[in-house]
Amino acid sequence: MTDQTLSQALALTPDDDGRLVAALTGAFSNASQAMPPEKGAPFGGLMAALAAAATRQGLGIETPLRSLTVQYLAAARFEPIAFVPTLLRGGRNIAYASVAAGQPDRPALQALATFGRDVAGPELTPLVAAAVPVDRIEPTPLNPMFGPWFTRYIEHRFESGPRLFGLNPPESPVLRVWMRTADAAPLDEARLLFLLDGVYPTYWTALPGPPTISASVDLRADLFGDLTPETSPDGWAFFEFRTMDLGGGWAVEDGVAFAPDGRPLAAVRQRRKLMPGR
């Protein structure tokens, strides 16, 4: 396995065909650390962050990202992957783009992105974090027996513990956690997208172990405003995740991210396909 820094994993290099290429290694595998990284695939949050970065870098878009919808077509391999962004419609205040990513004979991802400027208008922010301050919570690293390889790049501080395997009642499958990337860099667009998929499925807190494994099918993130280095200089954001539905072999889970000052930053919805039990 080739180790990488997060900045290296998020880097995109143009190739001779005009595509943007990222190096995917087992360092960001979604497999448990109890298994070889090759047993898993590149982490979905990294793939989402790369899709947004490729769209912005390849098309020269500077306005804030408003939404990103990702479909995970197939598990990518741990090797270079090419991203090809396309501008669908661009204007002074809003732009629409798509991006496709894949490896030889393996389409891995397609995504749609919307970028838009802020304008003056009414404001309404009903989402409230009500979080315990991060400096009052001890670090709570994930158990490597189930914690994926990519979680080595995330610092977790769970508000009331990981709540795994039935510690949450079925009627309240909620997980509240502070997270930041392990490099403690200021929170930016790529790192927020990375962290929006930075914890295990919330339904694990309401079901008994062993964990029911699932694969991400699609993810939609809506960002509420431009991120600046002053939004979270130490990189922290508070997240509340909730299982909205579980049944028929599928799970739908929602999450909200908040800045340290309590301002809502983003909402995310993820659909997962449960894997058959062995």
What b/e string do you get for 58-81 counting C-beta neighbours within 10 Å, with b at 16 or more? bbebebbbbbbbbebbeebebeeb
Sign of CA dihedral 268, 245, 152, 25: negative
Give the HSE-up count for residue 247: Cα atoms under 13 Å, Cβ half-sphere. Answer: 3
Beta strands 94-103; 80-90: pairing state: antiparallel
Domains annotated on the chain, with CATH: 6-117+131-274 (2.40.160.210)
Q: Cα(220)–Cα(44) distance, rounded to whole angstroms? A: 12
Helical residues (DSSP H) of 72-141, grouped into ranges: none
In DSSP terms, 264 is beta-bridged to: 258
Interatomic CA distance for residues 69 and 73, integer angstroms? 13
CB 185 within 8 A of CB 235: yes
Q: What is the pLDDT of residue 129?
A: 85
Helix (H, G, I), strand (E, B) or coil at 112: strand
Helices (H), the chain: 6-9, 44-59, 189-195
Phi first, then psi, for residue 274 (nearest 5°) are -70, 140
Q: What is the mean pLDDT of each run of 10 residues along the chain (278 residues)?
A: 86 95 97 94 97 97 96 97 97 93 96 94 88 94 89 96 94 96 97 97 94 95 94 98 97 98 97 86
Determine the pLDDT at residue 13: 97
Residue that has been written with the tokens 């295990």 in this structure: 200
DSSP string of 50-88, one letter each residue: HHHHHHHHHHT--SPEEEEEEEE-SPPPSSEEEEEEEEE
Asked if residue 250 lies in contact with residue 203, where contact means CB atoms within 8 angstroms, the answer is no
User: What is the pTM for the complete model shown?
Assistant: 0.96
Q: What is the DSSP letter of 230?
A: T
pLDDT number for residue 261 = 95
CA distance 228 to 248: 41
Q: Report CA dihedral (177, 48, 107, 114) to the nearest 10 degrees.
A: 140
Tokens 């909620």 label which residue?
174
What pLDDT was estimated at residue 278? 56
Compute the distance between CA of residue 57 and CA of residue 22 in angstroms, rounded to an integer. Answer: 13
Half-sphere exposure at residue 200, Cβ-oriented, CA atoms within 13 angstroms: 25
